[in-house]
Copies of this chain bind each other. A is one copy, B any other.
Amino acid sequence: MAGFDYRALDNIIHSRVRLAIMSYLMTAKSADFNELKSQLNLSDGNLSTHLTKLETIDYIKLEKKFVGKKPLTTVTITTKGNNAFKTYIEQLSTLIEKK
């Protein structure tokens, strides 16, 4: 009975906060900073750092523009991010099925 290889589980997605972010983006496709912040109950700083990390490995794309007078950061999941998330979920599924 071989245990599962924990190294296979995407370490970057597998953070509770980033899992929440990615999961949200999978259905929402895109969201802006404040939407994520309020929906996921994150502090500004916490969200900001996790977004930066996800952006660094190209799982999401961040676009900054002004809407009227206010800055607006829009977050979009990339193809790479989408694939990574799907893989992550599949691995989790096999883990869960084993119960």
Contacts and interface: CB of A to CB of B under 8 A. Distances in A.
B23 A1 contact: no
Interface string A50-93: 00000000000000000000000000000000000000010011
A3 B16 contact: no
A14 B11 contact: no
Interface string A10-53: 01001011011101101110000000100111000000000000
16 contacts: A1-B24, A3-B23, A3-B39, A3-B40, A4-B23, A4-B24, A5-B40, A5-B41, A6-B17, A6-B19, A6-B20, A6-B41, A7-B16, A14-B16, A23-B98, A89-B99
